[in-house]
Structure 1
Amino acid sequence: MTRYILRRLIAMPFLVLGIVTLAFLLTTVTKGDPLTAIVSDRQMNDPAAVAAAKARWGLDRSLPERYVIYVGNLLTGDMGTSFITRRPVAQDVFFRLPATMELVLAAMLVGSTIGITLGVLAAYFRNTAIDHAARFFALFGSSIPVFWLGLALLYVFSVKWGVLPGPGRLDPRATPPASITGFMTIDTLLAGNVKLFIDALWHLILPAFVLGWAVAGTISRLVRANMLEVLDREFILTARAKGAGELRVVIGHALRNTLVPTLTVIGYSFAYLLTGAVLTETIFSWPGMGSYAVEAARGLDFPAIIGVTIVGGVVFLLTNLITDIAYVIANPRVRLG
């Protein structure tokens, strides 16, 4: 297992370099001109201003030179300066990353809870109305577009009924607490403001449900399939023959053995949500990496686009590594093999 982890860690820098190279090359083949994000329309007609802007941002250099300079700066932690915010990209990205992490963690909690619950119910009450209903909701969750579900729920629960707050992380009139962890729910508790914590929690419900519902269907189908297989095994029949209650049989024996392969899907789903929360963050005005990526793409902010891609890729690789290690630890057969 140690050799396996070392091999994965050794390969990771080369994978990151591939991500950096691909992201850098993709920004160079786009038809958009990054100068439009740097100089005004009036200055675009001034050759001296254009030349000065190109020299200032290194756009007058050849592609290989820019690539070597960028990789060299990246090794020191410098992702460049944003064309739009005029701040270091690393500062912008890591300022917004906790907001995305908070949303994704909440979404994974919602998605895993819904998916596992529906999967267990569908398997235990197989070929009944409960099974059909659970499979319908799983299929519905996997098929419906995230942007449509987000807009629909926002209209119903926030605009129409007014039971849940609208976009944002806090009420617009509220004063945010000092940023310590970047997680609004944790920072409000650290500040001792329970009222603000409840407000942050209520603002988290809708976007977390929308994002979590996207993976709930996948988890539900996997849990159902594995539960159907496990419930017919001999050790389940033995547990029932010994007089174990149904709750203990289903939760303590069947579900426990089902969660081992499900762990991999949950880990990959986390990585998917972390890099794919763009639509949800845009709809709910969530100031995370997704909304930052959208703003960068609209403004042709190439340093920010590359920075978001790199951070997202690194987090995806780390999540996959942790998931694979957890699976090997949880499954003795894989570890022994």
Structure 2
Amino acid sequence: MARGVYLLGDLAQVAGAELRGDAGYQISAVAPLDTAGSGDLTFYHDMHLRGLLKTSKAGAILIAPRDAEQFSGNRLLTDNPYAAFARVMQHIYPQVAPRPGLHHTAQLARDAQVDPDARIDAHVQIGAGAVIAKGVWLEAGTFVGAGAEVGQGSHLYPGVKIYGGCKVGAGCVLHAGVVIGADGFGFAEADGRFLKIPQVGRVLIGNNVEVGANSCIDRGALADTVIEDGVKIDNLVQIGHNVQIGAHTVVAGQTGIAGSARIGRHCRIGGQVGIAGHLEIADGCVIAGQSAVTHSLRRAGVYSGVIPVQEASHWRRIAARLDGLDTLFRRMKRVERTLEQDLSTNGEPTDRE
């Protein structure tokens, strides 16, 4: 719930936006464009919702200058309304720092280092030599293995598992069911059977990383799996051993990244993308949902497609031609029937020119 009433002029400063309207206008909540009322602040950044601008009853809107004339009420002008919306939301709905404490059912190894300002909830287990920094919140049922580290202010939701030796940086959020540091999928075939290759690397997670529920990041076989600062990973994502993901890359749900792939910085990877192992993805690549990446992408660009992934412009041309395949097929069948009739009548094709 929102905490009180906010003056529009103050929210403009929070958002870093230019106010066009009444600075004293009172805002009590943030709401979607189609349901916002007179006491609500809304935002517009999706052209598919353009038709709602003239009918919205919002008291104020975060909007780009190019679209401002489409809304008649109070406006907060910004080139990035979505980012401004995020700032306002953080201001109205601030994260509450956890109250320090140690639940009596938690199990801590004698040599575990747990900062007194951390919060350790029910049935948490912390292994030998593990380090839990100031302001960390470990919710119920979380496991932190021997020698693992959790950095300052990180929040691990219920049931998170951090295997031994792995490191989670400061300000990270790991949602329920996340597993960090399970064995990578490493097996060698011999005589029709598979021999397990011990996975002795770690997972190293940088600062301000967020990992969605039930996602898994495997430990390296020899070297480490590395997730750099600011990476955002959605629910149900699988990241194989020795993968490296560059800073501020985002990965949407149900994506799978096979072992030893190297993903650059500031990439955007859509949902259900499959990335084969040992590939390199350049900084700044955008990969559309359900794409299959079977070869390295060595320069920034927008890529999409199934088998194999292509530059988006090339794939769109192929897709347009695919739409015409059924018509082409029917035409070819008519030609075949005509040729068959000619052969049955004359014994050879007829010259129709």
Length-normalised TM-score, structure 2 = 0.22
The structure that is helix-richer by fraction is 1
- Please tell me whether Structure 1 or Structure 2 has the larger radius of gyration of its CA atoms: 2
Length-normalised TM-score, structure 1 = 0.22
The structure that is strand-richer by fraction is 2
